[in-house]
C-alpha cells in the first residue's frame, strides 16, 4: 500500500508495482499549522477525479484517501473540512468504479499538555465529522498518524553546562544607563541545534529550560542565553531567559523532547548524539504488567491513568525547577 498525488507517480507505480494498493493524498488548508505539508504533498480536489480516472485506465487499484492538516495544527475545524473533502473524493471513486475502504486522517495532534489546542478539543470535532461523513456502517476503515501525540512527552533531555561567559550589558550597545552595569550570562551546553535541538530549526519548536538544582529563595536572576556546543553562531537554543547564575557542570532539563529531535540529530563537529536512558516509575511498571497479563480493570482505567506522570522527567523523579523565558525561539 502506498500514496500518490500525481499522474507521474501513477505511471511509475504502473511500471514497477502494478498490483499495489494506492491511497490518494488530497490537499488540506494547513495555513493554521506550525509545519505546512500540503505545499509538498497533495492533489487538489479539482484534479482528484482526473487522477482516479487515470488510475482506472492503468488498472491500478485505489483503495482510499489520506490527508494531513499539517504538524502542530491550531484549528480543529481544518479536520472537518478535510474529512468533508475526503467524502467527495470517495464519491468520485465510486463513480469511477473503485470500491474504496480506507481513510487516513493523518497527524497534527499535540503531544504535550502545554499547548493552546488540546488533544481532546480536536477529537471532539473529528468524531462528529467522521460520524457524519463516514458512519460506522459505511464500511470504511479509519486510521490516523498520531506520532507526536505518542512520543513527544516520552523524552526529557538533560544537558550539561560545558562553558559560561559573562557579558556586561554595556558591551551590548544598550542605551539604557540603568541597565549598563548589569551583567548577562551566556551558557554553552553539550547539545544543540545540530543535535537534539534541530527541532528548533525544522519543527518550529519553542523550548524552555528547567533547572535540576533548586535555586535559593532570595537568589538573583539574570538575563541569560543558552547555546549549543558547535562552531556555528546559529547554534542558539534559547535567545533569552531569566536564570540564577549557573556554573559549569550544572544540569538543565528540557521536557517534551521526544518528537523530531534525536531522530534527526547529526554528529556535526564531532559531537555525539545523546545517550538514551529508559526509566519507569513503580506505579507505571505495575500498570504495564497488569496490561501485559490482561489484568487491566476497566472500571478503574481512567482513574489509574490520570495519576501517572505526564512526562519522563516526572517519571524519573527528577527535581524540576521552572525558569522564565521571554523567548525560546531562534531566528533563521
Number of domains within the chain:
2
Query: Of 132, 150, 168, which closes a domain?
Result: 150
Taking each helix axis from N to C terminus, what angle separates 77-96 and 45-57, rounded to the nearest 10 degrees? Answer: 30
Query: Of 128, 150, 172, which closes a domain?
Result: 150
pLDDT digits (tens, 9 = 90+) for 161-199: 999 999 986 654 444 555 444 789 999 999 999 999 999
Please indicate, yes or no, whether residues 145 and 106 belong to a single structural domain of this protein: yes
Q: Which of the residues are catalytic?
A: 231
pLDDT digits (tens, 9 = 90+) for 16-46: 999 999 999 999 987 776 777 777 888 999 9
SS3 content of the chain, % helix, strand, coil (to 5): 35, 25, 45
DSSP, residue by residue, 201-249: HHS------EESSPPPTT--EEEEEEE-SSS-TT-EEEEEEEEE---TT
Cα dist from 3 to 9, 18, 155, 256, whole Å: 9, 13, 31, 30
Overall average pLDDT of the 191-209 stretch: 94
pLDDT digits (tens, 9 = 90+) for 123-138: 999 999 999 999 999 9
Please state, in angstroms and rounded to a whole number, the distance separating the CA atoms of residues 311 and 256. Answer: 7
Residue 205, domain extent:
155-277+317-327
Closest CA to 166 of 222, 219, 218, 120: 222
Closest CA to 263 of 318, 309, 188, 203: 203
Please indicate, yes or no, whether residues 37 and 120 belong to a single structural domain of this protein: yes
Taking each helix axis from N to C terminus, what angle separates 77-96 and 119-133, rounded to the nearest 10 degrees? Answer: 30
CB atoms within 10 A of CB 330: 19
Q: What is the mean pLDDT of the chain?
A: 86
pLDDT digits (tens, 9 = 90+) for 56-107: 999 999 999 999 988 777 788 899 999 999 999 999 999 999 999 999 999 8
- Answer whether residue 64 is part of any domain: yes
Please state, in angstroms and rounded to a whole number, the distance separating the CA atoms of residues 326 and 223. Answer: 10
Closest CA to 130 of 141, 146, 117: 141
- The CATH number assigned to the domain holding 243 equals 2.40.37.10
Q: Which residues contact 297 (CB under 8 A, 6 or more apart)?
A: 290
Please indicate, yes or no, whether residues 136 and 35 belong to a single structural domain of this protein: yes
Confidence of residue 329 (pLDDT cuts 50, 70, 90): very low
Taking each helix axis from N to C terminus, what angle separates 45-57 and 7-16, rounded to the nearest 10 degrees? Answer: 20
Please indicate, yes or no, whether residues 167 and 117 belong to a single structural domain of this protein: no
Is residue 201's pLDDT more than 70? yes
Max Cα–Cα distance, the chain, nearest Å: 77
Strands (E), 245-288: 251-254
Amino acid at each position: 500500500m502506498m500514496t500518490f498525488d500525481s499522474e507521474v507517480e501513477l505511471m511509475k507505480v504502473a511500471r514497477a508495482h502494478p498490483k499495489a494498493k494506492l491511497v490518494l493524498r488530497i490537499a488540506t488548508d494547513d495555513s493554521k499549522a506550525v509545519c505546512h505539508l500540503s505545499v509538498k504533498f497533495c492533489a487538489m480536489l479539482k484534479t482528484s477525479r482526473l487522477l482516479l480516472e487515470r488510475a482506472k485506465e492503468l488498472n491500478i487499484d485505489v483503495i482510499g484517501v489520506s490527508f494531513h492538516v499539517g504538524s502542530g495544527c491550531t484549528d480543529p475545524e481544518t479536520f472537518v473540512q478535510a474529512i468533508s473533502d475526503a467524502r467527495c473524493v470517495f464519491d468520485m471513486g465510486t463513480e469511477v468504479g473503485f470500491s474504496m475502504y480506507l481513510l487516513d486522517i493523518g497527524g497534527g495532534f499535540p503531544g504535550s499538555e502545554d499547548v493552546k489546542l488540546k488533544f481532546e478539543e480536536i477529537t471532539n470535532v473529528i468524531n462528529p465529522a467522521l460520524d457524519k461523513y463516514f458512519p460506522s456502517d459505511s464500511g470504511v476503515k479509519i486510521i490516523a498518524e498520531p506520532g507526536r501525540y505518542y512520543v513527544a512527552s516520552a523524552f526529557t533531555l538533560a544537558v550539561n553546562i560545558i562553558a559560561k561567559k559573562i557579558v556586561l550589558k554595556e558591551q551590548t550597545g544598550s542605551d539604557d544607563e540603568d541597565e549598563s552595569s548589569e551583567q548577562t550570562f551566556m551558557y554553552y551546553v553539550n547539545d544543540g541545534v545540530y543535535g537534539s535541538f534541530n527541532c528548533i530549526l525544522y519543527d518550529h519548536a519553542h523550548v524552555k529550560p528547567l533547572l535540576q538544582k533548586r535555586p535559593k529563595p532570595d537568589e538573583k536572576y539574570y538575563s541569560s542565553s543558552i547555546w549549543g556546543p558547535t562552531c556555528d553562531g546559529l547554534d542558539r537554543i534559547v535567545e533569552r531567559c531569566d536564570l540564577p547564575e549557573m556554573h559549569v557542570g550544572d544540569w538543565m532539563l528540557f521536557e517534551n523532547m521526544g518528537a523530531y529531535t534525536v531522530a534527526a540529530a547529526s554528529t556535526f563537529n564531532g559531537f555525539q548524539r545523546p545517550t538514551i536512558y529508559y526509566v519507569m516509575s513503580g506505579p507505571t511498571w505495575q500498570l504495564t504488567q497488569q496490561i501485559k497479563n490482561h489484568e487491566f480493570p476497566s472500571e478503574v482505567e481512567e482513574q489509574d491513568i490520570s495519576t501517572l506522570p505526564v512526562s519522563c522527567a516526572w517519571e524519573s523523579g527528577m527535581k524540576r525547577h521552572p525558569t522564565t523565558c521571554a523567548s525560546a525561539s531562534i531566528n533563521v
